[in-house]
């Protein structure tokens, strides 16, 4: 038992996975949740994710040892204003937002001195969303980045590290602004690019939608998976990590133009060298355990058989 | 038995998968292969992919009922010039190149009247390459596009359709230039974009390579899988489908700038609507059987468990 009572504000993919993992690992005595929609509340109760569901965050947060904001980032400020008067002295307030600088700047001034404000970002997810999309192993071997503001109580930090480690995560401490640049590269820019490419395909007159879908297995399919991610969550990510995302997109466009120029001028040597370098990075990803080397573009249904 | 003797020129992922599938489905009496490297030849023999391996395409193609060019596209012209004098009357010459217009324009004038020239493109692959990366189910339920030039012998076309269907493919006939536009959207542009994004990450000073790799699970990982594809094959694809690829990249950049502007100006409504539309396309891909709906970014190792 790491926390007596944990309150999850919002009940989507991350919160429902946290609830399932907490139950499995017996990390909390009591888990309570909060959601606006009656359907989400009913689903959370039906799936036995929590001990109780509340309509309003004040009631959910009241008396909790750990309160975790699990809604889209744009709702964080209002929720924090509402729950602050009800937070127990010594409680920890955390979140699971994909952006940290903006969250720290908005929330830190609102949090009273006797509450530990410890932003976190579990780097785990799927293209699904909602309370029934969660699963207990979502955080297994995935990184969770904590960005505790300077001067935070070290005992509270250690406790939150133990919490995430119990759910299966590997924990790393990072400066919030550095977090936002790293994630702009590994997540935010790739998502925007995937959304863009899928949008382009959708608009083309010369190629019908059914052709795009039919022949999607050639690479486009993986873009559609990324571009199926939750629209509201991603809207908020881009708006709240604006500068880093735009910086990386600028670098991306510069690079894309260089490759496009190589294609136009027929510079095969440049292209081949470039593609050889990117292949090496893939090896790093597999060696770091962030993906399997299985010879497969996510084709679960027809798993390759080894040649005899 | 659809063809008596099939010759595969080149022995990479596609050729080795064809060989394995042909053996399993008993599509050919004799399969011969051709590769320059001694290592590739030894591997093909060791894996029992073929009845015989040759150093030179002339010997391999001689007496074959079906000859399939399975090397990178840039080698097609030279190989065709060399094998043409040895092709049997009534034989079919095909290929598995990812580009069709360029191939037709280069090869059609070289092929004698008594040989059926029937370009094909099996839309199947993985990020792996080489003779030991093949597997018999690679073509299962995947599309294979044929682009027979006008006036081709219909019996020869029907026979090649039966051949690909026997390997598990669904076959579609298409004009070669239309093929190249469709593939520029579903494959060539997405690959170049993935290569570019992985290259950008590799160059960044502010974010270390190890950070990029460590936190790749957030979306970047799927780009690294695509960007691990065979460098020489892809160099050739871009150089030989130059115009369509550059046209689609132009549309992509235009669209990317529109989304970037929405981020800069804080237009959340535009972003959200855009992301909702792209999500719908994903549904189409799953419904068309081109991917599974499994809640997973390709995470084979820790398969989600259903909530209780």
Judge whether B187 lies within some domain: yes
Report yes or no: A236 and A74 within 8 Å, Cβ to Cβ.
yes
Residues of chain B positioned with their CB less than 8 A from the CB of A236: 268
Distance CA B130, CA B14 (A): 9
Closest partner CB to B123 (pick from A202, A217, A234): A217
Please provide the DSSP assignment of B52-113 as one string: EEESSHHHHHTT-SEEEE-S-GGGHHHHHHHHGGGPPTT-EEEE--S--HHHHHHHGGGS-T
Residues of chain B positioned with their CB less than 8 A from the CB of A201: 185-186, 281
Nearest CA in chain A to B125: A218
Judge whether A298 lies within some domain: no
- On whether both B104 and B91 belong to a single domain, the answer is yes
Is A275 within 8 Å of B229 when comparing Cβ atoms?
yes
- On whether both A258 and A134 belong to a single domain, the answer is no
Report yes or no: A82 and A52 within 8 Å, Cβ to Cβ.
no
Looking at residue B293, its pLDDT comes to: 66
Distance CA A239, CA B268 (A): 7
Residues ≥6 apart with Cβ < 8 Å to B58 = B82, B83, B85, B86
CA distance A115 to chain B (A): 29
- On whether both A193 and A165 belong to a single domain, the answer is no
Q: Is B198 left (phi over 0), alpha (psi -120 to 50) or beta?
A: alpha
- On whether both B215 and B137 belong to a single domain, the answer is no
Q: Token digits for B90?
A: 């009534």
Looking at residue A299, its pLDDT comes to: 38
CA distance B82 to chain A (A): 24
Nearest CA in chain A to B200: A252
Domain of residue B162 covers 3-174
Q: Is A205 exposed, middle or buried (0-12, 13-18, 19+ CB in 10 A)?
A: exposed
DSSP state of A87: P
Please provide the DSSP assignment of A33-77 as one string: EE-S-HHHHHHHHHTT--SEEESSHHHHHTT-SEEEE-S-GGGHH
Residues ≥6 apart with Cβ < 8 Å to B131 = B11, B12, B15, B16, B35, B40, B43, B44, B47, B49
Question: Would you call A254 helix, strand, or coil by DSSP?
Answer: helix
Judge whether A147 lies within some domain: yes
Number of structural domains in chain A: 2
Distances, alpha carbon B187 to alpha carbons A218, A220, B183, B194, B244, in Å: 5, 6, 5, 11, 11
Is B203 within 8 Å of A260 when comparing Cβ atoms?
no
Nearest CA in chain A to B270: A235
Q: What is the ipTM of this complex?
A: 0.88
Distance CA B66, CA B92 (A): 5
* Pairing of β B3-9 and β B28-34: parallel
Judge whether A308 lies within some domain: no
Report yes or no: A129 and A104 within 8 Å, Cβ to Cβ.
no
Looking at B158, B174, B190, the residue that finishes a domain is B174
- On whether both B135 and B222 belong to a single domain, the answer is no
Judge whether A303 lies within some domain: no
Distance CA A236, CA A241 (A): 8
Closest partner CB to A207 (pick from B181, B197, B203): B181
Is A217 within 8 Å of B291 when comparing Cβ atoms?
yes
Distance CA A98, CA A78 (A): 18
Distance CA B8, CA B19 (A): 8
Q: What is the pLDDT of residues A193-230, one digit of tens each?
A: 999 999 999 888 788 888 888 888 778 988 998 899 89
Judge whether A37 lies within some domain: yes
Report yes or no: A65 and A6 within 8 Å, Cβ to Cβ.
yes
- On whether both B167 and B202 belong to a single domain, the answer is no
- On whether both A156 and A45 belong to a single domain, the answer is yes
- On whether both A272 and A146 belong to a single domain, the answer is no
CA distance A171 to chain B (A): 12
Torsion from C-alpha of B64, B69, B75, B76, nearest 10 degrees: 80
Residues ≥6 apart with Cβ < 8 Å to A216 = A224, B186, B285, B288, B290, B291
Is A275 within 8 Å of B235 when comparing Cβ atoms?
yes
Report yes or no: B131 and B12 within 8 Å, Cβ to Cβ.
yes
Task: Give chain B's end-to-end CA distance (angstroms, integer).
Answer: 51
Q: Is B204 left (phi over 0), alpha (psi -120 to 50) or beta?
A: beta
Judge whether A296 lies within some domain: no
- On whether both A224 and A85 belong to a single domain, the answer is no
Distance CA B297, CA A300 (A): 11
- On whether both A186 and A219 belong to a single domain, the answer is yes
Report yes or no: B158 and B186 within 8 Å, Cβ to Cβ.
no
Low-confidence ranges of chain A (pLDDT < 50): 295-308
Nearest CA in chain A to B226: A219
Judge whether B295 lies within some domain: no
- On whether both A187 and A255 belong to a single domain, the answer is yes
CB atoms within 10 A of CB A100: 26
Q: Token digits for B164?
A: 């690909």
The tens place of each residue's pLDDT in chain B, 308 residues long, gives 999 999 999 999 999 999 999 999 999 999 999 999 999 999 999 999 999 999 999 999 999 999 999 999 999 999 999 999 999 999 999 999 999 999 999 999 999 999 999 999 999 988 888 999 999 999 999 999 999 998 899 999 999 999 999 999 999 999 999 999 999 999 999 999 999 999 999 888 788 888 888 888 778 988 998 899 899 999 999 999 999 999 999 999 999 999 999 999 999 999 999 999 998 888 888 888 777 665 443 333 333 333 32
Cα B239 to chain centroid distance, Å, stands at 15
- On whether both A7 and A156 belong to a single domain, the answer is yes
Looking at A118, A144, A174, the residue that finishes a domain is A174
Torsion from C-alpha of B241, B243, B249, B254, nearest 10 degrees: -170
Distance CA A237, CA B207 (A): 19
Looking at B174, B207, B231, the residue that finishes a domain is B174
DSSP state of B239: H
CATH code assigned at A281: 1.10.3660.10
CATH code assigned at B168: 3.40.50.720
CA distance A217 to chain B (A): 6
Q: 């980045």: which residue's tokens? A: A145
């Amino acid at each position: 038992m790491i926390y007596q009572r944990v309150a999850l504000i919002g009940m989507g993919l991350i919160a429902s996975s946290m609830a399932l993992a907490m139950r499995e690992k017996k990390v909390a005595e009591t888990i309570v949740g909060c959601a606006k929609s009656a359907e989400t509340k009913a689903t959370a109760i039906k799936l036995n994710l929590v001990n109780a569901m509340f309509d309003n965050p004040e009631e959910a947060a009241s008396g909790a040892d750990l309160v975790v904001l699990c809604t889209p980032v744009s709702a964080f400020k209002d929720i924090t204003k509402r729950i602050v008067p009800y937070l127990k002295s010594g409680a920890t307030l955390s979140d699971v937002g994909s952006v940290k600088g903006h969250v720290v700047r908005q929330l830190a001034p609102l949090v009273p001195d006797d509450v530990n404000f410890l932003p976190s970002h579990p780097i785990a997810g799927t293209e699904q969303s909602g309370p029934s999309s969660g699963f207990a192993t979502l955080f297994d071997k995935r990184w969770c980045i904590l960005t505790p503001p300077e001067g935070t109580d070290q005992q509270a930090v250690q406790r939150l590290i133990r919490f995430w480690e119990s759910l299966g995560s590997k924990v790393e401490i990072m400066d919030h602004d550095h977090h936002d640049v790293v994630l702009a590269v590994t997540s935010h820019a790739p998502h925007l690019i995937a959304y863009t490419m899928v949008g382009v395909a959708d608009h083309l007159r010369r190629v019908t939608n059914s052709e795009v879908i039919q022949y999607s297995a050639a690479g486009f399919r993986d873009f559609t998976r990324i571009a199926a991610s939750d629209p509201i969550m991603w809207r908020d990510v881009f708006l709240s990590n604006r500068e880093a995302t735009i910086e990386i997109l600028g670098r991306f466009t510069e690079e894309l133009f260089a490759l496009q120029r190589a294609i136009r001028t027929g510079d095969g040597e440049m292209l081949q060298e470039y593609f050889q370098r990117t292949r090496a990075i893939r090896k790093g990803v597999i060696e770091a355990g962030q993906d399997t080397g299985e010879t497969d573009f996510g084709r679960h249904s027809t798993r390759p058989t080894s040649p005899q």
